[in-house]
Structure 1
């Protein structure tokens, strides 16, 4: 489980716990292949060892920025739906989080294009009663199933709230 149990309230249970689809790592992987190809080409064509070393150091810096950084960002971002709230956490050095109580969520929709459908992911669009209006969670795996589970929770929450009002 990606979220720590200590962040959950007593009696709160996790319904969906996910992170961004691995599709987010496609471009960093392509960058890594290109950087390695450039380094290998430079090493075979340049006879000067110092110049080759400088090129490899430059390529290593580029790899940290274009490959390692997106990997760490992907690994540290989590999206969790419990029976009480939606919890988002992201950030490496500075952790940021956003919690939305289920009672404040007014609509859950999803969007996905042809590539998203092919890969089984999409964007979950959550409308709430706050000043932010909408929260978009990009590249969520099994987005239709996640939207269905969230709607089931919302209808259960709304039904429970309606039952308390009538008594």
Structure 2
């Protein structure tokens, strides 16, 4: 899914567009299976009782609440989180009902680092650390293919610096 072109400047192009790594969805999927399996088992235990309709209704309500809260909400949160590198800036957008975002112009980025532990290396993700004019470095967790993203961001920062330098020489 491409980032909406209407949110970009005239000569701005998307270099990288990522959602967080799929490892964020492992726990919600496990919860889905546990709730479905546990609910089915509890429904089978309630079936021979005289109050089985009320018990099944209560199980359905509790199961639905758990699935919405612990499975659907994280999936929607994952889907609506965007990490975007363009030719002019680094953008992060997240949130479902209340959206928040961070934009860092390429000219303000001082350094770019990444780190990933053993499990992250196996899964192909990591944390991207961006130091800018802000007080503290910004850390973006669970970036898929973090080494490649790091390289592309570093390349864009250097190209932006070269463009600024070349523009200054024309004056």
Query: TM-score, normalised on structure 1?
Result: 0.93
Q: Does residue 73 of the first structure (1) align with residue 83 of the second (2)?
A: no
Report SS of the residue matched to 1:98: strand
Equivalent residues of 1:2, 1:18 under 8 A apart: no
Query: 2 CA distance for matches of 1:40 and 1:83?
Result: 52
Superposition map of 1:1-167 within 5 A: 1-47=1-47, 48-131=52-135, 133-165=136-168
Q: Unmatched 5+ residue regions in structure 2?
A: none
Shift of 1:162: 3.4
Equivalent residues of 2:3, 2:14 under 8 A apart: no
Shift of 1:105: 0.6
Equivalent residues of 1:77, 1:91 under 8 A apart: yes
Q: How many residues get paired?
A: 166
* Deviating more after overlay: 142-151 vs 115-124: 115-124
Query: 1 CA distance for matches of 2:26 and 2:156?
Result: 33
Q: Unmatched 5+ residue regions in structure 1?
A: none
Query: TM-score, normalised on structure 2?
Result: 0.91
Q: Which runs of 4+ in 1 moved over 6 A?
A: none
Q: RMSD across aligned C-alpha pairs, in angstroms?
A: 1.4
Quick check: which has more Rg, 1 or 2?
Answer: 2
Shift of 1:137: 1.2
